[in-house]
C-alpha cells in the first residue's frame, strides 16, 4: 500500500511495500513520478541503506524529471495543447457542438474534438480527457493486435490474453501464463517503437529473460532493437496525455 510522500533532500517520492517485490527498487513512471518499492518484509534499516546507496541516482532522475517538465508542459485540455499520435505532434482543436456526446478525429496535424456548447468548464476538461483516452485505447488495441499477429506469423508462438493497460512504469509485460499486456500510451509513439515493444513481449513467450538467446530472437525481426530501445528511454516523456 502506498504511503504518504517522503523526500530526500527535498526530492519527493512515494514509498510502498509489495508482497510481489523481491528486491528494493526505485521506479519512475511515465509521468515522472518516483516510487520506492520494497518487499513487505524489508526492514526500515535496509530501506535507509538502499536510499543512501542510491542517492546519486535518485538525484539524477529528479533533475531529469524537472528538465522533462519544461519540455512537456502541463496539459490544459483546451485548444492549442500538443499531443502525439504515431510519433507525430497533433494540436488539439476543441469545437462547440449541439451533440450530447463528444466526438474525436485526427485530420492531418490536428486532433479535433467536438464538445457540447452547454457543458461547464470543469466537466468539459474531464470530457476531453476521457475522449482522448478512449480514442487512444481503442486505436492502441487495434494496432497492437494487428502488429502482434503480423510478427507472430514469423515466430509462431502461442500466447493467451492480450490486454491494454494503464501501466505506470512499463510499456509491456508477459506473464508465465502467456498473457501479454501493453501500455495503451504506445499509440503516441512511432510505429517502429510500437513494433519494438510488441516483439519484445512476444519473444518473452519463448525466453522469460534478457539473455543473449532472448535478444537474438528479437533481432531476427528487429535488427535495430537497440536504437528503438534508446528512443523509448529518451523520449518516453512525449507519450503522456
Same domain as 13, residue 53: yes
- The pLDDT-based confidence of 197 (bands split at 50, 70, 90) is very high
In a domain, 76, yes or no: no
In a domain, 77, yes or no: no
Same domain as 118, residue 175: no
Same domain as 26, residue 14: yes
Same domain as 153, residue 117: no
Same domain as 130, residue 99: yes
Over 60: is that where the pLDDT of 2 sits?
no
In a domain, 172, yes or no: yes
Contact between 160 and 168 under an 8 Å Cβ cutoff? The reply is no
Determine how many CB atoms are found less than 10 A away from the CB of residue 40: 11
Percent of the chain with pLDDT over 70: 90
- Higher pLDDT: 204 or 13? It is 204
Same domain as 59, residue 16: yes
Strand order in the sheet with 34-39: 6-8, 11-18, 34-39, 25-28
Name, in order, each residue with C-beta under 8 angstroms of 141's C-beta and a sequence gap of 6 or more: 164, 184
Cα separation, 107 vs 224, in Å, equals: 31
Give pLDDT tens digits for 20-31: 888 888 877 656
In a domain, 10, yes or no: yes
Same domain as 129, residue 100: yes
Same domain as 55, residue 115: no
In a domain, 169, yes or no: yes
The residue range of the domain holding 11 is 6-71
Over 50: is that where the pLDDT of 199 sits?
yes
Same domain as 143, residue 130: no
pLDDT at 186: 96
In a domain, 103, yes or no: yes
- Long-range pairs for 174-182 at CB < 8 Å and ≥24 separation? 174/201, 174/202, 174/204, 174/205, 174/208, 176/208, 178/205, 180/148, 182/140, 182/144
Name, in order, each residue with C-beta under 8 angstroms of 235's C-beta and a sequence gap of 6 or more: 189
CATH code where residue 208 lies: 3.30.2010.10
**How many separate domains does the chain show?**
3
Give pLDDT tens digits for 24-77: 888 776 566 788 888 988 888 888 888 888 888 878 777 777 766 666 767 889
* Nearest Cα to Cα of residue 22 among 44, 43, 37, 35: 37
Same domain as 175, residue 234: yes
CA atoms within 13 A on the CB side of 167: 17
Give pLDDT tens digits for 211-231: 999 999 999 999 999 999 999
Strand order in the sheet with 172-174: 162-165, 180-183, 172-174
Give pLDDT tens digits for 121-160: 889 999 999 999 999 999 999 999 999 999 999 999 999 9
Name, in order, each residue with C-beta under 8 angstroms of 32's C-beta and a sequence gap of 6 or more: 65, 68, 69, 237
Give pLDDT tens digits for 83-109: 999 999 999 999 999 999 999 999 999
In a domain, 92, yes or no: yes
pLDDT at 1: 45
Write down which residue in 49, 71, 93 finishes a domain.
71
Same domain as 175, residue 131: no
Determine how many CB atoms are found less than 10 A away from the CB of residue 132: 20
In a domain, 54, yes or no: yes
- The pLDDT-based confidence of 11 (bands split at 50, 70, 90) is confident
Same domain as 171, residue 116: no
Write down which residue in 52, 71, 90 finishes a domain.
71
Amino acid at each position: 500500500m502506498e504511503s504518504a510522500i517522503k523526500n530526500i533532500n527535498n526530492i519527493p517520492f512515494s514509498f510502498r511495500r509489495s508482497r510481489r517485490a523481491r528486491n528494493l527498487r526505485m521506479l519512475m513512471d511515465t509521468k515522472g513520478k518516483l516510487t520506492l518499492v520494497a518487499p513487505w518484509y524489508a526492514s526500515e534499516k535496509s530501506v535507509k541503506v538502499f536510499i543512501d546507496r542510491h542517492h546519486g541516482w535518485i538525484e539524477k532522475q529528479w533533475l531529469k524529471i524537472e528538465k522533462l517538465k519544461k519540455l512537456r508542459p502541463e496539459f490544459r485540455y483546451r485548444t492549442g495543447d500538443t499531443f502525439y499520435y504515431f510519433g507525430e505532434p497533433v494540436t488539439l482543436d476543441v469545437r462547440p457542438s449541439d451533440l450530447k456526446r463528444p466526438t474525436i478525429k485526427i485530420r492531418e496535424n490536428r486532433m479535433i474534438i467536438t464538445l457540447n456548447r452547454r457543458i461547464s468548464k470543469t466537466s468539459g476538461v474531464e470530457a476531453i480527457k476521457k475522449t482522448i483516452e478512449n480514442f487512444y485505447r481503442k486505436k492502441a488495441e487495434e494496432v497492437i493486435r494487428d502488429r502482434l499477429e503480423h510478427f507472430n506469423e514469423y515466430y509462431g508462438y502461442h500466447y493467451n490474453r492480450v490486454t491494454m493497460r494503464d501501466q505506470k512504469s512499463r510499456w509491456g509485460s508477459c506473464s508465465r501464463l502467456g498473457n501479454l499486456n501493453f501500455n495503451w500510451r504506445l499509440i503516441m509513439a512511432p510505429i517502429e517503437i510500437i513494433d519494438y515493444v510488441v516483439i519484445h513481449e512476444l519473444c518473452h513467450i519463448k525466453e522469460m529473460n534478457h539473455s543473449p538467446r532472448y535478444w537474438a530472437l528479437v533481432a531476427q525481426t528487429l535488427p535495430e532493437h537497440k536504437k528503438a530501445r534508446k528512443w523509448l528511454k529518451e523520449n518516453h516523456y512525449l507519450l503522456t496525455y
